[in-house]
Structure 1
Amino acid sequence: MQVSLESGEGLERILSVELPAERVEEEVSRRLEEIGRTARMDGFRPGKVPMRMLRRQYGSQVLQEVYGSLVESSYQDALQQQNLNPVGPPKIEPKQSDDESVFAYTATLEVMPEIELAKIEGKVTRPVAQVVDQDVEDMIEKLRGQRISWNPVERAAAEQDQVKINFKGIMDGEAFDGGSANDVPLVLGSNSMIDGFESGLIGALAGESRTLELKFPEDYRVEKLAGKPVTFEVDVIEVAEAILPELDDAFAKEFGSDEGVEKLKSDIRENMENELKQRIKARLKEQAMDLLIECNELHVPTALVDEEIDALRNQTRSRLPAGSSSMELPRDMFESQAKRRVGLGLLIAEVIKKNSIKLDDERVRQTIEEFAASYEQPEEVIKHYYANQEQLAAVQNVVLEDQVVDWVMEQADVVDEPTNFAELTAES
């Protein structure tokens, strides 16, 4: 067998394989002889059918089988000979040869990239923050805001009041679809309506009617309305002010605390501290992974990227409303994310291999315990994880990634950046 190798674009390789035609003929003859032992044809006893008739009857089928078998076996031999690590199946094409004594084909394939890890050079900014009393008080106020009740008042509407309204939108002298509604509760200052609508109702009294001359934003979501002038005729039915619930034991009980307000505050602080810890960890991990990619330019196999795109498409479809699962989702919607995931996966694996990083079983246990702590019977949750290999493997992978983050951080220039809980959690 003769094998030659060419490099294509990126990670593409082209194997040219040549086999002696006599090897094909030998295998065809051998298989035809096997068929001949049991083949039945009119006028001949089993095992006595002439070879020429066997070739006429079965030759084409056997030749195709032999070709397939020889391609499969010789391809594997060629991979070993050229020391190639393929990604996915090859594209096999027959190759024309001037020498009729040669059976030839080409195999086009992608190979795994050879990774030489570069030195990590760059900065990682580590957020430094703690949960303070004001953070807890602010969270309490948010929770009180979730339990607001509205008390009708006989005064002019002010910012943060709720008005109940009927309204009708008019454009070019006619009401338009979707521009009218009745008994709509609207909190003034919530920015739920287009600019000028809510501010135009400040000072209105229950029973009052107002006409608002406004304009839809240029980037309004309904294209036919974007940038157009509009008139809203608004009837104010009711004005109500917000009543916050008292911060008492009854309020605490609504949020799962049967031991009063102080216990509620303690639970809130603990949850916020856990969230802060996870936010800092996630911020560091993102920066460490960005730095790992930045320092290691890498070609990623198209086959692996395609697999990752399919996985991301399926994840997105699973979150779509019922009936939308067949929606066509374009490749370029996921390509960048898929390339990053594949590249990171290859780099993480190489870091683990080159640095002989061993899984920290104690960190695995600690990670599971932290997750289980939020349940009523944490020990049962821990037992479940260790009894379920799939879920345990998922935690182990996360811990290994965390160990790689530690490896990057040891080499990077880490700079502490003072911040606070509100700033660190602002994106949510």
Structure 2
Amino acid sequence: MQVEITRVDECKRKLNITISGDVVSKELSRIYQEMNQRVNIKGFRKGKVPRKVLKQLYKRDAEVSLLQELVPKACEEVFVANNMKTVSDYLLEKYELEEGNGLKLDISVEVIPDIVLRDYKGVKIQKKSSDVTDEDVDNALKQKQHDSAELKTVESRGAENGDEMVLDFSGKIDGKIFEGGEGKDFRIILGEKKMVEGFEDKLLGAKAGEKREVEIAYPQDAPNKALAGKKVVFEAMVKEIKERILPQLNDEFAKDLGDYNDLNSLKEKVRDDIKNTKEYYIKLEHQKEIIEKILEENPFTPPAILVSREFEFLKKNLASRLSGGKAADINFGKESEKIEQELLKEAEKRVRESLLLEKIAVEEKIAVEDNEIDGEIRKRAEATNQNFNALKKAFQQNEAYEVIRSRIREEKVLNFLLNCSIVN
């Protein structure tokens, strides 16, 4: 077999393959022999049809069978011999078949580009503090107070900030209810400002059973583009108001929350938890900082097909989030082009990051053992109350097992890069 490989660009290769006449003739003989045993042709006994007749009637079928048999084998041989890591199915652009002269193939395929790593060790990153202040602890304790509050139905007064309100509402634009503008038994805590600006303020003083009309002028930069710059009139029916009675911060409060001897032991646990959380997010920030710098030092063009797949994934994920977790196609209106450009940019960055981390893993011989994957599967099995062996078998039957391996490897590479970075 003769092979000529042409580099079209960073990620595309063109293969000119010639398979010898002897190999082609041998394979065609086998194909016609098998065909002879299957076909029924008037005037001939099964298995006794001359090859010349078979060729006249089934030449195209024989060629298809020949290509299906020889092309995949030839491509695989070329890929392995030349260490080509393909990211797409090969495309047979053209072929020429002459029994005596063999089979000539013109094939194109996308591959992972040759990445020459530069400056990925000793990346300088900015030191960040994980110190925990008394204010941090106080705020966390206040949240625990809030979470442990007793709810008492309010009947004699109007709603105040801090109260929990249950209401039904419907929002209208020009007299028509807009999509997503209705809510039943909707719970809000007045003063938390989680609704559109002005909505909660206009419900202050309302009593259970009272109807209120709330007019809101949405700003031009509202996240929901369908409401941007529009005047919306909400009709709200207050169904219930509850006052949140906070427990006192004392030793009894700490004991009620768990295995704490007193309030001080609770404070120490809260302080430790906050520190661990800060350290976790600092680690993520440092890893992100390192990746950004390595990407900058190692420019290359990623395979278009991988970018396209990641782009479609991001687009579907965004549509799902905006539609409340449902699979949906969403028209972003005038912002469509801008949003898609941003998603495409993010997709390209993600693919480049993934390929770089994979290259570093190979360079530094960072591997993932099966017992590490088992550990991750065991965690998931315990978290979801599933049988470990059954879950592992299910993962091994699809891509999930290798996806876990890939994620663990990426995390190990990121930890490696972090450990050999320089913190200023």
Q: For this structure pair, what is the TM-score category when the shorter chain's length is used for normalisation? A: 0.5 to 0.7
Aligned to 2:5: 5
Distance change >3 Å, CA 13–CA 145, structure 1 → 2: same
Q: Give me the whole-angstrom Cα distance separating, in 2, the residues matched to 1:62 and 1:310.
A: 39
Q: Give me the whole-angstrom Cα distance separating, in 2, the residues matched to 1:290 and 1:399.
A: 20
Distance change >3 Å, CA 107–CA 272, structure 1 → 2: same
Matching residue's letter, 2:9: E
1:257–1:263: 8 Å Cα contact kept in structure 2?
no
Distance change >3 Å, CA 66–CA 139, structure 1 → 2: same
Q: Give me the whole-angstrom Cα distance separating, in 2, the residues matched to 1:95 and 1:360.
A: 44
2:20–2:102: 8 Å Cα contact kept in structure 1?
yes
1:348 aligns with 2:363: no
User: Equivalent of 1:290, from 289, 292, 295?
Assistant: 292
Deviation at 1:140, TM superposition (A): 0.9
Deviation at 1:107, TM superposition (A): 0.5
Deviation at 1:289, TM superposition (A): 1.9
Q: Give me the whole-angstrom Cα distance separating, in 1, the residues matched to 2:320 and 2:226.
A: 32
* TM-score relative to the length of structure 2: 0.67
Q: Structure 2: which 5+ residue stretches go unaligned?
A: none
Deviation at 1:190, TM superposition (A): 3.3
- Kindly, what percent of the aligned residue pairs are identical? 26
Q: Give me the whole-angstrom Cα distance separating, in 2, the residues matched to 1:55 and 1:392.
A: 47
Distance change >3 Å, CA 397–CA 248, structure 1 → 2: farther
Q: Which moved more, 1:95-104 or 1:245-254?
A: 95-104
Q: Give me the whole-angstrom Cα distance separating, in 2, the residues matched to 1:317 and 1:222.
A: 13
1:275 aligns with 2:284: no
Match runs of 1:228-243 below 5 Å = 243=245
Aligned to 2:140: 139
Q: Give me the whole-angstrom Cα distance separating, in 2, the residues matched to 1:65 and 1:201.
A: 75
Distance change >3 Å, CA 169–CA 392, structure 1 → 2: closer
1:151–1:242: 8 Å Cα contact kept in structure 2?
no
Aligned to 1:61: 61
Distance change >3 Å, CA 91–CA 137, structure 1 → 2: same
Q: C-alpha offsets along residues 321-360 of structure 1, whole Å, 9 cap, x if unaligned?
A: 7893354799767544443333223222322332344669
Matching residue's letter, 1:144: Q
Q: Give me the whole-angstrom Cα distance separating, in 2, the residues matched to 1:270 and 1:307.
A: 42
Deviation at 1:13, TM superposition (A): 1.0
Aligned to 1:339: 348
2:358–2:410: 8 Å Cα contact kept in structure 1?
no
Q: C-alpha offsets along residues 92-121 of structure 1, whole Å, 9 cap, x if unaligned?
A: 022469999564331010122212110247
Distance change >3 Å, CA 325–CA 256, structure 1 → 2: farther
Aligned to 1:94: 94
Q: C-alpha offsets along residues 264-317 of structure 1, whole Å, 9 cap, x if unaligned?
A: 434433432332231222122222222222221122223333454566567678
Partner SS, residue 113 of structure 1: coil
Partner SS, residue 128 of structure 2: strand
Aligned to 1:404: 413
Partner SS, residue 104 of structure 1: strand
Q: Give me the whole-angstrom Cα distance separating, in 2, the residues matched to 1:208 and 1:47.
A: 91
2:316–2:329: 8 Å Cα contact kept in structure 1?
no
Q: Give me the whole-angstrom Cα distance separating, in 2, the residues matched to 1:118 and 1:224.
A: 47
Q: Give me the whole-angstrom Cα distance separating, in 1, the residues matched to 2:173 and 2:81.
A: 76
Q: Give me the whole-angstrom Cα distance separating, in 1, the residues matched to 2:342 and 2:416.
A: 32
CA root-mean-square deviation:
5.5
2:36–2:46: 8 Å Cα contact kept in structure 1?
yes
Aligned to 2:128: 127
Distance change >3 Å, CA 130–CA 399, structure 1 → 2: farther
Q: C-alpha offsets along residues 116-175 of structure 1, whole Å, 9 cap, x if unaligned?
A: 110247531231223344422221111212344468598898765778999999998xx7
2:20–2:101: 8 Å Cα contact kept in structure 1?
yes
* TM-score relative to the length of structure 1: 0.67
Partner SS, residue 92 of structure 2: strand
Partner SS, residue 105 of structure 1: strand
User: Equivalent of 1:247, from 249, 260, 263?
Assistant: 249
Matching residue's letter, 2:3: V
Aligned to 1:418: none
Q: Give me the whole-angstrom Cα distance separating, in 2, the residues matched to 1:44 and 1:99.
A: 25
Q: Give me the whole-angstrom Cα distance separating, in 1, the residues matched to 2:171 and 2:106.
A: 69
Matching residue's letter, 2:362: K
Q: Which moved more, 1:313-322 or 1:259-268?
A: 313-322
Match runs of 1:175-324 below 5 Å = 177=177, 189-192=191-194, 195=197, 215-220=217-222, 226-227=228-229, 243-248=245-250, 251-252=253-254, 255-257=257-259, 261-309=263-311, 324=326
Q: Which moved more, 1:334-343 or 1:190-199?
A: 190-199
Q: C-alpha offsets along residues 186-232 of structure 1, whole Å, 9 cap, x if unaligned?
A: 76543356555655677999999999887443345677865456889
Q: How many aligned positions are there? A: 401
Matching residue's letter, 2:193: N
1:360–1:399: 8 Å Cα contact kept in structure 2?
no
1:150–1:162: 8 Å Cα contact kept in structure 2?
no
1:52 aligns with 2:61: no
Greater C-alpha radius of gyration: 1
Distance change >3 Å, CA 137–CA 92, structure 1 → 2: same
Q: Structure 1: which 5+ residue stretches go unaligned?
A: 416-428
2:25–2:99: 8 Å Cα contact kept in structure 1?
no
Q: Give me the whole-angstrom Cα distance separating, in 2, the residues matched to 1:200 and 1:342.
A: 48
Q: Which moved more, 1:274-283 or 1:33-42?
A: 33-42
Distance change >3 Å, CA 55–CA 195, structure 1 → 2: closer
Matching residue's letter, 1:354: E
Q: Which moved more, 1:401-410 or 1:293-302?
A: 401-410
Q: C-alpha offsets along residues 223-251 of structure 1, whole Å, 9 cap, x if unaligned?
A: 78654568899999999875322235664
Q: C-alpha offsets along residues 364-404 of structure 1, whole Å, 9 cap, x if unaligned?
A: 79x98xx98xxxx99xx9x969x969799888766654553
Q: Give me the whole-angstrom Cα distance separating, in 2, the residues matched to 1:155 and 1:137.
A: 30
Distance change >3 Å, CA 41–CA 126, structure 1 → 2: same
Partner SS, residue 128 of structure 1: coil
